[in-house]
Amino acid sequence: MKVNEDHLRDSHRSRMFVTTRMLSRRQSPAEAAPAVIIAFPATYPGGARLTPYALSVRSARVPRQTGRRRRAPAKAMPPNRKTLLTNLVVAVAIGLIFAIDLNTPLGLAVPFLYLLLALLAIAVEAPKRTLLAIAILGPLLAGLKVLINPEDGVAWLGHANRIIFSLLIWVAVGLEWGRRLLEVARREHSLDLEHQVREQTAAWRSANHTLELEVAERQAAEATIIDYTQRLQALTRQLVEVRDAERKALAAELHDRIGQNLSALNMSLNLNLALLATQLPPAAMTATRARIGDALTLVEQTTEVIRGVMEELHPALLEQYGLATALRWHGEEFAGRTGIGFHCQAGERFPRLATQVETTLFRIVQEALINVAKHARATAVTVSLARLPSGVELKVSDDGRGIAQEQLNRPAAGSGWGLTIMAERARMIGGEMRIERGNQGTTVAVTIPDDSPEVA
């Protein structure tokens, strides 16, 4: 694309405008701080395109006028007038140099003036047409002088001198022409780069905005998940507390009502048996004694069952003798009911823990043994209780088929509610529960660190 660079440069200098606007409508014209915006046109004749640049200078507050009138800024010269003036000066200079050349006897140094004129035109950035005119007219007039006065001076020296300076003029003009072409190309390349940077910046800004939206949505979703998790933990903790309270209340009801009624029924049957022994004949008494004996046996069995249920709901052994003893007793009861072998690994003198910790660990063992009886298809189960340097560790291991992976991934599904409640019980006393799947069987491990406030 051919660019009229001369006109571009002249327009670049002369077609800028200054716009002054008041920064505040509330201030008077004398007090307002002006903002000066210098803008360059985006399109010049000849097809060249330049990006408009704006320089905004916000000056300080201007003091009030004190009678002195400010000098108006000088107006820029129109480009056409400046070009006309430059061409006129160059034409006059060429004419003067030619006249000097014609009237100088020896004229060896006169062609240097054409070169000096070309250098001055390059220095003031004259239009390319003007430079081309100097490059053509300078050597042409120098040669014309030789044709007009061929006998003036030493012929070969004058010819050589004029040829050398003509070549120097063309070299200078050619270099300046190439420099201007390179400058135009550099500007176009700079504009292309700027356009690419703007497009890339817009794309990055759009991607950044999209990423910010996605991050905000993800943070909102995470906050919602955290809120729901906290609610679920609170509901689970409340469910555990309600279950424990109901078990304790039910155990008290069994002891206070059913237990006392069974004791009273046992005493009544024994009294009736003694009374009937004094009133009935020996033959009838034998049959009566057998029937009343069966009733007494049934009452005693029911009492034992009730006592076992009461121990399951609220074990008195746990409060009296500690966790290790309660686990052994519960394991023997479990083995008697299910036929699954039970082994307890706990020292006889295992130290006592806080009441809440012992109750929670006992409930976790109860729930784990229930899961073993229902789902593991195990033949033996081992409960180990150990005091480690870092805290207390409880493990319940079986040799069954192992827990399914789906239950580990979705612990709230099906029988997984028991796992959720066990984990929440461990969390309530500052501990952590983990489930280990081996080649055979499953191990439920609960660890309570020493720094937990619940560990005594």
In terms of domains, do 144 and 31 share one? no
Q: What average pLDDT does the structure give for the chain?
A: 75
Predicted local confidence at residue 15, as pLDDT: 40
Residue located via tokens 């996605």: 214
- Cα 285 to the chain's mean position, in Å? 90
Q: Are 237 and 424 in contact (CB under 8 A)?
A: yes
Position 386 in a domain: yes
Please report, for residues 261, 403, 407, 441, the alpha-carbon distance to residue 410 in angstroms, rounded to integers and kept in the order given.
46, 12, 5, 19
Position 247 in a domain: no
Average pLDDT over residues 149-178: 73
Largest CA distance in the chain: 185
In terms of domains, do 95 and 34 share one? no
Predicted local confidence at residue 54, as pLDDT: 39
CA nearest neighbour of 333 among 310, 358, 359: 310
Position 343 in a domain: yes
To the nearest 5 percent, what fractions of the chain are helix, strand and coil? 65, 10, 25
Q: Are 349 and 385 in contact (CB under 8 A)?
A: no
Position 124 in a domain: yes
Helix (H, G, I), strand (E, B) or coil at 53: coil
CA nearest neighbour of 57 among 36, 73, 40, 33: 36
Q: Is the pLDDT assigned to residue 168 strictly greater than 80?
A: yes
Burial tier of 423 (Cβ tally within 10 Å: 0-12, 13-18, 19+): buried
Position 64 in a domain: no
Assign 226 a pLDDT band (cuts: 50, 70, 90). very high
Position 367 in a domain: yes
Strands 341-345 and 380-388 come out as parallel
Burial tier of 285 (Cβ tally within 10 Å: 0-12, 13-18, 19+): middle
Greater confidence (19 vs 78) lies with 78
Q: Are 370 and 340 in contact (CB under 8 A)?
A: no
- Distance between CA 49 and CA 51 in Å, rounded? 7
Predicted local confidence at residue 70, as pLDDT: 55
Assign 79 a pLDDT band (cuts: 50, 70, 90). low
Assign 11 a pLDDT band (cuts: 50, 70, 90). very low
What is the secondary structure of 285-310 as a DSSP string? HHHHHHHHHHHHHHHHHHHHHHHHHH
- Distance between CA 302 and CA 294 in Å, rounded? 12
Q: Is the pLDDT assigned to residue 397 strictly greater than 70?
A: yes
Q: Lowest-confidence range among 48-52, 72-76, 83-87, 234-238?
A: 48-52
Domain of residue 32: give its range: 5-58
State how many domains the chain has. Answer: 3
In terms of domains, do 91 and 200 share one? yes
Average pLDDT over residues 215-243: 87
Q: Write out pLDDT tens, residues 100-140.
A: 777 766 555 677 777 888 888 888 778 878 888 888 887 88
Predicted local confidence at residue 174, as pLDDT: 84
Q: Lowest-confidence range among 137-151, 191-205, 234-248, 393-407?
A: 137-151
In terms of domains, do 36 and 144 share one? no
Average pLDDT over residues 192-216: 93
In terms of domains, do 52 and 124 share one? no
Q: Is the pLDDT assigned to residue 214 strictly greater than 90?
A: yes
In terms of domains, do 100 and 149 share one? yes
- Distance between CA 174 and CA 203 in Å, rounded? 43
Position 299 in a domain: no
Assign 35 a pLDDT band (cuts: 50, 70, 90). very low
At residue 293's C-alpha, the angle toward residues 287 and 298, to 5°, is 135
**In this structure, what token pair is assigned to residue 116?**
């000096």
Residue 384, domain CATH: 3.30.565.10
In terms of domains, do 108 and 155 share one? yes
In terms of domains, do 32 and 112 share one? no
In terms of domains, do 51 and 157 share one? no
Position 291 in a domain: no
Predicted local confidence at residue 105, as pLDDT: 60
What's 256's DSSP letter? I
Q: Which of 174, 205, 236 is the last residue of a domain?
A: 205
In terms of domains, do 24 and 98 share one? no
In terms of domains, do 132 and 194 share one? yes
Average pLDDT over residues 213-224: 94
**In this structure, what token pair is assigned to residue 449?**
């660190």
Other C-beta atoms lying within 10 Å of the C-beta of residue 176: 20
- Distance between CA 278 and CA 121 in Å, rounded? 153
In terms of domains, do 163 and 87 share one? yes
Average pLDDT over residues 158-178: 79
Q: Is the pLDDT assigned to residue 380 strictly greater than 50?
A: yes
Average pLDDT over residues 288-300: 84
Q: Is the pLDDT assigned to residue 20 strictly greater than 50?
A: no
- Distance between CA 235 and CA 228 in Å, rounded? 10
Q: Is the pLDDT assigned to residue 265 strictly greater than 60?
A: yes
